[in-house]
Amino acid sequence: MQVNGIDTQKVNFQPKGNNKAICLGWIQPRKQQKLLAKIIDVDGKIAIDFVGPLDDPDFVEGTTTKHLGVWSLEQVYSRLTDYSCLVLISEGEVAPLVVLEAMAAGLCIVVSESASANLHHQEFITILPDNILTDTTPEAHKIVTDTISEMIDKNQYYRPQILEYVRENFDCSRIIYHYNDIMHDFMNLHS
């Protein structure tokens, strides 16, 4: 699988986040944001903002969980760096561009296994099982909240490394050569 790419120069980067998490994307039942919001709100120790079109009638804001509406791409690229952690625990995402956008902005990442394609093991990336939100045990909920808290806490120390990682592995200026090789191989195969 060829990796997604991002122009990291377009994404605003600040050296410090706001000690909050963000869940950015279409709010739908399959993405399980309502379960995440409920777990976070019951815990009450983590602030998480949800940004994106709201297409889940069961999604409810809480004391520490807020829906901020929809952002334009320009707003995403300028505001994402204000946060410390992106949370994307979803089914069927594979290699979401939002993860690269978040890393270009300096955020730590908490993703589900199905949303972790092309990511390498790093101290600032945590991959959780796909079913972690549907597991109703207190232990599973604690894993979710502890993991997000840990990534928020780590963020201040890893932001420069996160930016370097995404530039080295996913910046368009680097991966264009891989696409070029694929096209060259394709042309040779079919000529």
Using the 8-state DSSP alphabet, how is residue 4 labeled? P
Strand partners, 21: 48, 85
- Evaluate if residue 138 carries a pLDDT over 90: yes
Strand partners, 23: 50
Is 170 domain-assigned?
yes
CB 13 within 8 A of CB 21: no
Is 78 domain-assigned?
yes
Is 3 domain-assigned?
no
Is 2 domain-assigned?
no
Matching residue, tokens 């780590």: 154
- Evaluate if residue 2 carries a pLDDT over 80: no
- Evaluate if residue 178 carries a pLDDT over 70: no
Question: Where residue 46 sits, what CATH number does that domain have?
Answer: 3.40.50.2000
Q: What is the pLDDT of residue 76?
A: 97
Is 72 domain-assigned?
yes
- Evaluate if residue 3 carries a pLDDT over 90: no
Q: What is the pLDDT of residue 118?
A: 84
Give the span between the Cα atoms of 67 and 185, in whole angstroms. 46
Is 87 domain-assigned?
yes
Is 59 domain-assigned?
yes
The fraction of the chain above a pLDDT of 90, given in percent, is 68
CB 65 within 8 A of CB 45: no
**How many domains, in total, are found in the chain?**
1
Q: What is the pLDDT of residue 186?
A: 65
- Evaluate if residue 13 carries a pLDDT over 60: yes
Question: How do 48-51 and 108-112 pair as beta strands?
Answer: unpaired
Find the domain containing 75 and state its range.
Answer: 8-189
Closest CA to 175 of 1, 7, 5, 9: 5
CB 133 within 8 A of CB 38: no
